[in-house]
Amino acid sequence: MKDVFGYDQYRHQQEQIVDTLVKGQDALVLMPTGGGKSLCYQIPAIARPGVGVVVSPLIALMQDQVNALNQLGVKAAYINSTLSAREIEQVKQQALDDELDLLYLSPERLVGEEMQGFLQRIKVALFAIDEAHCVSQWGHDFRKEYQNLSMLHEQFPEVPRIALTATADQRVRKEIVKQLQLDDAEIFISSFDRPNITYAIEEQESGKQQLWRFINDNHPNDAGIVYCLSRRKVESVAEFLSGKGRKALPYHAGLSNKIRERNQHQFLMEDGIIIVATIAFGMGIDKPDVRFVAHFSMPKNIESYYQETGRAGRDGQPSNAWMAYNYQDVVMQRQFIRDSDAADEHKEVLHNKLDSLVDLCEQLECRRQTLLRYFDEVLEEPCGNCDNCLNPPEKIDASKEAQMAMSAIYRTEQKFGIMYLIDLLLGNDNDERVSKLKHDQLNVFGIGKDHVKTWWRRLYRQLISQGYIDVDPEHGSLLLTDKAKPILKGDESFYLRDVVKAKNKSKKAEEI
């Protein structure tokens, strides 16, 4: 580590992970973005005899890593579709001559017959499977080719394997272990908390002005990233910020490679530049002093939000993750999911993931606790470093409505989904099951007419996100948890973020 990479100390559990691999054992590593996953397989690949084979889904990342390693004097290469047949032969020859420490491959190529035959002829030091969550249907980035990687264990039983990911809840974790046959792997889980990042999320009211207020108040001279959903929005926000006197550069897939590279290069080299980007930007970007990440559109799920905000403050200095969301974004994200070619079950997963993000946005409690809970990590106390902790939001007592919402579940024997329950509360009998099951005779039928449908949706979502209600993963029916009882009995109160009051308050602030 010191001789080759020049670092003095291991971070997180790097040392134990390196030891595990060097000893020849398997490892599963969960470490946040920027935590230092690459070193965990690079060092053992160098230390062990033979070539360390790294599977990575992204060609651009492969090239970055190989370039960085070559600069450090490490013998690394990749084989992918950007190389000519002759270049591929050269790399293979290096491996045969034991002149290679690391070889990067795409999953398709690795499991191909030709490569498998080749790997049998050389000495493989280890297999590293990067972005291992891609193997899981429950993950946010499922890739079919990853599922074939299970063959590695069968073909190379003696070669240690390390699977790495920055995002995996328990379900995804279990599936990685199962699909990759990592039952004997040591599992290393680092905390996902990024204590130097201050989280804040607000609803969009005044659009770009709101973004400008955030940037100008907090980061008048700092480097930062602004994420937008569409290319058009990227262009208009970059123009707007330039008009305000900031150096703001666009970055999206519609720009030529040359312009993208130039903008990225400037962002890395010069101080105080704002990059306005679609999610295409950021993979493999390693700029330590990004002081803020602003989401000017809602990301697609909490994993993306975490990964994108994680690009702020890698140097450990105080940084801001700010989001201004808008319900239009939710509608758009839903449309993306519906139009995608994912299987129906996977679409359902994606919708649920989007719901969890909406919950985070509407959350009254500590954002960090909610965020970490999503990754199955418990933060005992509210963090004191997010908007909800620093400025507790206006809230309204919705205990009575929560009782109505949950009695509707109870009275219908926990067999129905949100939309049906809301119809009951609103007194709609369009669904023929209502009269057939005599649900129109229940005392909850029609008692919720003081509020509109979207209001009830929000209430149900909040009850779910705060753990009063579970959703049956198979049927989508709502189930009451133990936590629901005290509210149903009137022993405890339930609060909702008061969106209307919060809006008026910030309007007033603007008038002043």
Where along the sequence are the contacts to Zn ion (CB under 5 A)? 366, 368, 382-383, 386, 389
Residue 33 interacts, among Zn ion, ligand ADP, none and using kind-specific CB cut-offs from 5 to 8 Å, with ligand ADP
383 binds, among ligand ADP, Zn ion, none (CB under 5 to 8 A by kind): Zn ion
**What is the crossing angle of helices 302-309 and 367-374, to 10°?**
120
Residue 393 contact partner, candidates Zn ion, ligand ADP, none, CB within 5 to 8 A by sort of partner: none
The one among 21, 30, 39, 177 contacting ligand ADP by CB under 6 A: 39
Nearest alpha-carbon partner for 353 in 403, 399, 299, 397 = 299
**Of residues 13, 38, 278, 356, which one binds ligand ADP by CB under 6 A?**
38
Q: Which two tokens stand for residue 134?
A: 């891609």
* Interatomic CA distance for residues 207 and 155, integer angstroms: 55
Contacted entry of ligand ADP, Zn ion, none for residue 7, CB cut-off 5 to 8 Å set by kind: ligand ADP
Pairing of strands 224-227, 274-277: parallel
**Residue 34 binds to ligand ADP (criterion: CB under 6 A):** yes
Strand 27-30 with 161-165, pairing: parallel
Question: Quick check: 11 binds ligand ADP (CB under 6 A)?
Answer: yes
Q: List Cβ neighbours of 142 (8 Å cut-off, separation of 6 or more).
A: 134, 135, 136, 342, 346
Cα 3 to Cα 71, 330, 424, distances in angstroms: 13, 49, 69
Residue 275 CB, nearest distance to ligand ADP (Å)?
18
Residue 274 binds: one of Zn ion, ligand ADP, none (C-beta under 5 to 8 A by kind): none
* Beta strand residue intervals within 94-167, DSSP E: 102-105, 124-129, 161-165
Q: Site for ligand ADP (CB under 6 A): which residue of 7, 283, 504, 510?
A: 7
Tokens of 365: 């409690």
Contact pattern for ligand ADP over residues 274 through 293, marking x by CB under 6 A: ------------x-------
Of 288 and 473, CB closest to ligand ADP: 288
Considering the complex, state which of residue 68 and residue 488 has its C-beta at the smaller distance from ligand ADP: 68
Distance (Å, rounded) from C-alpha 56 to C-alpha 63?
A: 10
Q: Is 13 in the site for ligand ADP (CB under 6 A)?
A: no
Kindly report the CA angle at 343 between 337 and 349, in degrees rounded to 5?
A: 60
Nearer to ligand ADP, 173 or 458 (CB): 173
Cα gap 382→28, rounded to integer Å: 29
In angstroms, what is the minimal distance from the CB of 241 to Zn ion?
28
| 33 scored as a contact of ligand ADP (CB under 6 A) | yes
Which residues form the interface with ligand ADP (CB under 6 A)? 7, 9-11, 14, 31, 33-39, 286
